[in-house]
Amino acid sequence: MKIDLEAERKEILNRYKILIQACKRRLEKGDKEIIRKAFEVAVEAHKEMRRKSGEPYIYHPIAVAQICAEEIGLGATGIVCALLHDTVEDTEITLDDVTGLFGEKVAQIINGLTKISGVIDNTSSIQAENFRKVLLTMSEDIRVILIKLADRLHNMRTLEHMKREKQMKIASETLFLYAPLAHRLGLNNIKTELEDLGLKYTNSEGYYDIAVKLQETEPQRKRFVQKFIEPLKEILGEQGFTFKIFGRPKSIFSIYNKTKTKGVAFEEIYDLFAIRIVIDTPLEQEKSDCWKVYSIITDFYHPSPERLRDWISTPKSNGYESLHTTVMGPEGKWVEVQIRTVRMDELAEKGYAAHWKYKDSAADKESNLEGWLQRIREMLENPDPNALEFMDDFKLNLFSDELFAFTPKGDMKTLPVGATALDFAFEIHTKVGEQCIGAKVNFKLVPLSYEIKSGDQIEILTSNKQTPKEDWLGYVITAKAKSKIKSSLKEQRKKIAEEGREIMERKFYKNKLDFTLQNVNDFCQFLKIPSSQELFYRAALGNVDIKEIKEFVRFKNNPLKPSRKTVTPKIEQLVTNARGSSDMLVIGDDMQKLDYKLSPCCNPIPGDDVFGFITVGEGIKIHRVNCPNAIKLLSNYAYRVVKAKWLNDQMISFLAGIKIIGTDELGLVNNITKIISNENNINMRSIKFDTDDGLFEGTIMIYVHDTKHLNHLMDILKKVKGVTKVERIDEKA
Amino acid at 205: E
Distance CA 75, CA 663 (A): 61
Minimum distance of Mn ion from residue 155's CB (angstroms): 7
Q: Residue 162, class by beta-carbon neighbours within 10 Å (0-12 exposed, 13-18 middle, 19+ buried)?
A: middle
Q: Would you put residue 619 in left (φ > 0), alpha (ψ -120 to 50) or beta?
A: left
Amino acid at 57: Y
Burial of 348 (0-12, 13-18, 19+ CB in 10 A): buried
Least distance from Mn ion to the Cβ atom of residue 57, Å: 9
Q: Are 591 and 613 in contact (CB under 8 A)?
A: no
* Shorter beta-carbon distance to Mn ion: residue 81 or 717: 81
- The distance of closest approach from Cβ of residue 90 to Mn ion in the complex, given in angstroms and rounded to an integer, is 8
Angstrom distance (rounded) from CA 488 to CA 72: 44
Q: Interface mask (CB under 5 A) for Mn ion, residues 616-655, using x and -? A: ----------------------------------------
Q: Which stretch binds Mn ion (CB under 5 A): 88-96, 147-155, 499-507, 632-640?
A: 147-155
Residues 261-320 that bind Mn ion (CB under 5 A): none
- By Cβ distance, which residue is nearest to Mn ion? 151
CB of 151 to Mn ion, least distance (A): 4
22 CB contacts (<8 Å, ≥6 apart)? Answer: 66, 69, 70
Radius of gyration of the chain (CA): 31
Which range of residues in 81-89, 394-402, 573-581, 651-659 is near Mn ion by CB under 5 A?
Answer: 81-89
The secondary structure of 78-144 as a DSSP string is HHHHHHHTTHHHHSS--HHHHHHHH-HHHHHHHHHHHHHHHHHT-TTS-HHHHHHHHHHHHTT-HHH
| Active site annotation includes 89 | yes
- By beta-carbon proximity to Mn ion, the closer residue of 39 and 508 is 39
Angle 718-723-727 from CA coordinates, rounded to 5°: 55
Size of the residue set binding Mn ion (CB under 5 A): 2
Q: State the DSSP code for 305.
A: G
Among 151, 196, 289, 427, binds Mn ion (CB under 5 A): 151
Q: Which stretch binds Mn ion (CB under 5 A): 82-90, 167-175, 308-316, 699-707?
A: 82-90
Q: Which is nearer to Mn ion, 46 or 191 (CB)?
A: 46
Q: What type of residue is 117?
A: S
Residue 608 binding Mn ion, by CB under 5 A: no
Active site residue 141: no
Q: What are phi and psi of 510, to 5 degrees?
A: -60, -30
Q: Report d(CA 158, CA 366) in Å as an integer.
A: 34
With beta carbons less than 8 A apart as the criterion, state whether 113 and 138 touch: no
- Residue 304 · residue 326 · CB < 8 Å: yes
What DSSP designation does 32 have? H
Decide whether 86 or 141 has the Cβ nearer to Mn ion.
86
| Contact assessment for residue 273 and residue 225, using Cβ atoms and an 8 Å cutoff | yes
Strands 596-598 and 458-462 turn out to be: unpaired
Using CB under 5 A as the binding rule, the residues of this chain from 83 to 122 that contact Mn ion are 86
Candidate ranges 80-88, 212-220, 460-468, 548-556; the one touching Mn ion (CB under 5 A): 80-88
Which lies closer to Mn ion via its Cβ, residue 151 or residue 196? 151
Q: Where are the alpha helices (DSSP H) in 239-327?
A: 252-261, 286-300
Q: Closer to Mn ion at the Cβ: 86 or 423?
A: 86
Question: Using an 8 Å Cβ cutoff, are 449 and 422 in contact?
Answer: yes
Considering the complex, state which of residue 120 and residue 504 has its C-beta at the smaller distance from Mn ion.
120
Beta strands in 138-265 (DSSP E): 243-249
Q: Which is nearer to Mn ion, 167 or 626 (CB)?
A: 167
Do residues 448 and 433 lie in contact, with contact meaning Cβ atoms separated by under 8 Å?
no
Q: How far is the CB of 147 from Mn ion (least distance, A)?
A: 9
Smallest distance, Mn ion to C-beta of residue 60, A: 6
Nearer to Mn ion, 60 or 365 (CB): 60
Any bridge partners for residue 56, and if so which?
50
Which of 11, 55, 70, 89 is catalytic? The answer is 89
How far apart are CB 108 and Mn ion at their closest, in Å?
18
Q: How far is the CB of 113 from Mn ion (least distance, A)?
A: 8
When the beta carbons of 151 and 434 are compared against Mn ion, the nearer one is 151
Q: How far is the CB of 139 from Mn ion (least distance, A)?
A: 22
CB 533 within 8 A of CB 493: yes
Active-site residue, selected from the candidate residues 8, 90, 310, 730: 90
Distance CA 151, CA 61 (A): 8
Q: Which stretch binds Mn ion (CB under 5 A): 119-127, 144-152, 454-462, 466-474?
A: 144-152
139 vs 613: CA distance, rounded Å: 34
How near is the Cβ of 178 to Mn ion at its closest, in Å? Answer: 13
Helix (H) or strand (E) holding 446: strand 444-446
Residue 115 CA to residue 130 CA, distance in Å, equals: 10
Q: Closest separation between CB of residue 47 and Mn ion, Å?
A: 16
**Residue with smaller CB distance to Mn ion, 163 or 512:** 163
| Other C-beta atoms lying within 10 Å of the C-beta of residue 681 | 10
As a whole number of angstroms, the distance between CA 25 and CA 76 comes to: 11
Residues that bind Mn ion (CB under 5 A): 86, 151
Active site residues: 89-90
